[in-house]
Structure 1
Amino acid sequence: MAAARWPAIIGLMAILLPFAPFPARAATLARSPPSSTSSAVFQLHGDVYPTGHYYVTMNIGDPAKPYFLDVDTGSDLTWLQCDAPCQSCNKVPHPLYRPTKSKLLPCANSLCTALHNGQSPSKKCTSQQQCDYQIKYTDNASSLGVLVTDSFSLPLRNSSNVHPSLSFGCGYDQQVGKNGAAQATTDGLLGLGRGSVSLLSQLKQHGITKNVLGHCLSTSGEGFLFFGDDMVPTSRVTWVPMARSTSGDYYSPGSATLYFDRRSLGMKPMEVVFDSGSTYTYFAAQPYQAIVSKIKGGLSKSLKQVSDPSLPLCWKGQKALKSVFDVKTDFKSLQLSFGKNSVMEIPPENYLIVTKIGNVCLGILDGSAARLSFNIIGDITMQDQMVIYDNERVQLGWIRGSCSRSPKSIMSFP
C-alpha cells in the first residue's frame, strides 16, 4: 500500500490496469477448520528511516534462489522483476528472475480470473496461454508482466521445509517513481492482502498454513514475519473484528476515535486501514490538522520548526538529536479507540523519526495531500508491536513488545 516502498513517500494499494502481452521472448469469532498446525517463519530487515520499508528473503525456483521482497499487507499480488526479457527494470540486489514458458499461468486459471476481477469485459488476456497483469500503486510505481508458477522454499517451525508451487507476477516492465531505472533495495513485492491471489491465501489453499499472518517491525532494523496461527500469543492481545473497508478489500479494524494525551479531539470516528507497505501513517485532513495543532501547542521553546527534506514537518533542538527519546517528554501519546477495551496506544516513538542531521520529524502525514480517502496505520506506528491479521477468525490484533529478537523466541512474546 503506501510509502517509500521505493524512493517515493507513498506507494499504496494496487489498482489493476489494462494488460500488455508477454514479450515474444478482542472478538471471539468462528474459526475455519484447521489446515495445518505449523507456521512458516522469516527474519525481516529494514526500517522506517532511512530505508523506508521492511523486507523478507524468499527462496524461489528450482534450484531455489534468494530474492528480497517488500512486505505489503495492502496489496495482493506478489511479483518479482524478471528477465522475460526485461523491457524496463530497476537495479536490484539479485540477478533477475528468469521464467520459462512452462511456468506461465494460463488465462483460464482461477487465480488469473480473480486478479482480473472487476475489469471490463473487453479487458482479456492477450493469449489463452498466459495471464497478463498491470498493477499501479499510489506513488505512481507500477509493474507490468505475466503470472507464473514456481516453487517457494518455506521454513516451518517444526524445522522442516516445504516447497509449494505458488503463483506470482513476473514483472518485465517496472516504473518506479519518476525514474524507471532507479536503484531498488528489493527485488519485488510480497503481497499479503486478503485476496485469493495473495501468497497467504495460496498457502491456505495448499493446506500448508492457516490464513493468519503476523509481523513484528523493530526500530533496530530487523523483525520477524510469520504465516500460520500457532505463533499467535494466547493472551494480552488486543483483538478487534475485521471490518469491510469502504475503500477496498483491505485489512481494517473499522472506525476509531482519535485521542491526544487521552483527550478526545471531538471528531467523528475515522476509518482505519493497517498497511505494512506504508512507511508512514496517514490521517485525513481534519484529524491531521488537529494533531499538528495539538503537538505544536505543547512543544517547549527549545524546539524550533525547521525545513528538512526528510518529511514535511520537522523541528530542531538546541543540539543535534540522536534519538526520539531525547525529546519524548516534549510530545504526548495518541490513542485510537476501537471500542471498549480496544485501544491502540501511539507513543511519540511510534509517530516521530530523527533524521540524519539530527532533527525530529512528524511521521504522520496529510492523507488528503496523497489523495487518500481514509486513514492508514503504517510501519512507523506498528513498530515494536506484533500485529496479527487473522483471516480465519476475521479479526485483527496487536500486542506491544520488543521486535529485536530471533523468530524462535516469539512464543515468549512480549
Structure 2
Amino acid sequence: MAPSPLLLAAFSLLFAVATPIRDITDACSSQVQAADFEHLNGTALHLPLHHPRGPCSPAAVPSDLPFSAVLTHDAARISSFAARLAKTPSSSAARPITTTSASSLYRPDSSLASVPLTPGTSFGVGNYVTRMGLGTPAKPYVMVVDTGSSLTWLQCSPCRISCHRQSGPVFDPKTSSSYSSVSCSTQQCTDLSTATLNPAACSSSDVCIYQASYGDSSFSVGYLSKDTVSFGSNSVPNFYYGCGQDNEGLFGQSAGLMGLARNKLSLLYQLAPTLGYSFSYCLPSSSSSGYLSIGSYNPGQYSYTPMVASNLDDSLYFIKLSGMTVAGKSLSVSSSEYSSLPTIIDSGTVITRLPTSVYTALSKAVAGAMKGTKRADAYSILDTCFIGQASQLRTPAVTMDFAGGASLKLKAQNLLVDVDSSTTCLAFAPARSAAIIGNTQQQSFSVVYDVKSNKIGFAAGGCK
C-alpha cells in the first residue's frame, strides 16, 4: 500500500536500492493479506490505498518513468480544471465522433457530443489506486481514486473499440447475474451531463452512452450500467457506473476510475444512504501504507476548514488558503493575495499551484532558508531546485494555514519533490486561473471530506 502523489514527494522510491527483494516480497504479501480485510467497520468502509510507484501497488507505473511525464500529466490536469472553471472547452477538446468503429455504439445523430479521439498522456501516473469489487459473483478491479471526477467507470468486455492494458482481467458483464444496462429515459442518464461535463448519447437499442474526457486527451466512452459493487464481503446493489467500450490514453494498468466528487453519480453519493456523506484518506509515500475510508470518522482528531461555496463548479472541493509561514515567519504578501484565485483541494494533482505573488514569496523564503544548499537548474515548471534528495536536506519548517484554523505543517517530503537521482525541487508552481492544493502537500496526512457538514479536516500522522 503506498502512493507518493495522491502525492509525490512523491515519485521518489523511498525503498533503498539495497533493500532485499525478499523483504519487499514479504511486505507485499502482508499487504495483500491486509487487503482481504477491506470491510464495512460499523458504518465505515475502509480500503487500502496504494502509491503508484510503491512495490506493492497492484497497478504500478514503470519504474523508469521520468518525472517530466508526471509534470506533463499535471499540466494537462490543470488545463482541464481551468476549462471547467471557465466553462469553456479545454485545449484538448474534442472532435465529433465520426469513426466507423464508434458507429457500433452510436446511432447517427448530429446532436451527439464530442470527445477527443487521440490517445493522451498517462492519466494514472500521479494517482493512487485501490480495489473495488463488481458484479455477482464479485471480482476485484484496480481503480484510480479521484476527488476531481464524478462518474466511476471501468473497462468492459468485449471492448468494442479499444481497451488499454490493465492489471487483471477486464470486467465481462455477461458473467454477472446482477448486471443491467441503463436506458436513455432514466434520470441517471440525464444526470450524466453534470457528472461527466459531456451530454449523454443513446444507442440504437435505447442504452444510455456516457462520455468521460480528461484534460490530457484521455477518455472513456461506453454504456451507463447498473450492478452490485462490493468491498470485501459487503456489497451494495444498484450501483451506477460506466462500462467502457472505448478507453484511450494511458491509464496506467488500472481498470478504470473511482469518482469521489460532489455529484449524485459519484461513488460517495451512491454509498451515502448507507454510510453517510463523508470520506477520508491518507495518501502514502512509496514506502508506507495508506487508506481510503468512506463513512463515519473520528471528528476529534482533525483541525477543520470550511468548504467554500462556488458557482464555478459545484462538484469540486473549494477551500480558502489564508496564510503561509517559512521558518516561523509569514510570507511577505498581503492576506488578500492568498484568496486572489479560487482554491481547490485535489487528490490527483501532484504539484500545488499558488497565486503567483504567493508562490514568488514562498520560493524566495525557502531558498533563503536553504542558502547553504547548492542550487540546481530549473526542472520544467519547477524553478526552485537543489542538489540532493529531499530526505537528505535540511529544510525549513513550512506551514500552510487555512480559514477556520486548519493547517498543514509540511515535512521535507511535502515541501520538496525528487525529480531525478540528484535533484530535488520545491513542489509548488504559480497558478493562472485557480490555486490547487495537490497531493504532495497532503501526503502522510489524514484528510477528511465531511460533505454533510461542509468542512475538510487535516490530521498529522495518518499513514502507518
TM-score band, normalised by shorter chain: 0.7 to 0.9
The TM-score normalised by the length of structure 2 is 0.67
In the alignment, structure 1 residue 291 sits paired with structure 2 residue 362 = yes
Which structure is higher in helix share?
A: 2
In the alignment, structure 1 residue 64 sits paired with structure 2 residue 133 = no
Please state how far the C-alpha of 1:147 moved relative to its aligned partner.
Answer: 1.0
Deviations along 1:15-66, one digit per CA (max 9) or x if unpaired, are: xxxxxxxxxxxxxxxxxxxxx9511110111158975221101111122222
Letter in 2 for 1:233: N
Please state how far the C-alpha of 1:395 moved relative to its aligned partner.
Answer: 1.6
Name 1:13's counterpart in structure 2.
none
Contact 2:222 2:243 in 1 (8 A): yes
Residue of 435, 441, 454 corresponding to 1:375: 435
Aligned runs of 1:12-411 on 2, under 5 Å? Answer: 38-47=43-52, 52-100=126-174, 103-117=180-194, 124-127=201-204, 129-155=206-232, 161-176=234-249, 182=250, 184-204=252-272, 207-219=273-285, 220-229=287-296, 232-261=297-326, 262-267=329-334, 268=336, 269-270=338-339, 271-306=342-377, 308=379, 312-313=382-383, 315-317=385-387, 320-321=388-389, 324-329=390-395, 331-339=396-404, 341-368=405-432, 373-404=433-464
Please give the alpha-carbon distance, in whole angstroms, between the structure 1 residues aligned to 2:379 and 2:199: 47
Please state how far the C-alpha of 1:81 moved relative to its aligned partner.
Answer: 1.8
Please give the alpha-carbon distance, in whole angstroms, between the structure 1 residues aligned to 2:271 and 2:251: 31
Name 2:96's counterpart in structure 1.
none
**Aligned residue pair count:** 349
RMSD: 3.1
Please give the alpha-carbon distance, in whole angstroms, between the structure 1 residues aligned to 2:359 and 2:217: 23
Contact 1:244 1:250 in 2 (8 A): no
Letter in 2 for 1:161: N
Please state how far the C-alpha of 1:342 moved relative to its aligned partner.
Answer: 3.0
Contact 1:108 1:128 in 2 (8 A): no
| Shift >6 Å, 4+ stretches | 118-123
Letter in 2 for 1:228: G
Please give the alpha-carbon distance, in whole angstroms, between the structure 1 residues aligned to 2:292 and 2:196: 32
The share of aligned pairs that are identical, in percent, is 27
Please give the alpha-carbon distance, in whole angstroms, between the structure 2 residues aligned to 1:171 and 1:350: 35
The TM-score normalised by the length of structure 1 is 0.75
Name 1:407's counterpart in structure 2.
none
Please give the alpha-carbon distance, in whole angstroms, between the structure 2 residues aligned to 1:122 and 1:218: 36
Contact 2:407 2:458 in 1 (8 A): no
Aligned in 2, Cα 1:351/1:81: closer, same or farther, shift over 3 Å?
farther
Structure 1 portions without partners, runs of 5+: 10-35, 177-181, 405-414
Aligned in 2, Cα 1:118/1:144: closer, same or farther, shift over 3 Å?
closer
Please give the alpha-carbon distance, in whole angstroms, between the structure 2 residues aligned to 1:294 and 1:286: 12
Structure 2 portions without partners, runs of 5+: 11-40, 55-62, 64-124
Aligned in 2, Cα 1:354/1:124: closer, same or farther, shift over 3 Å?
closer
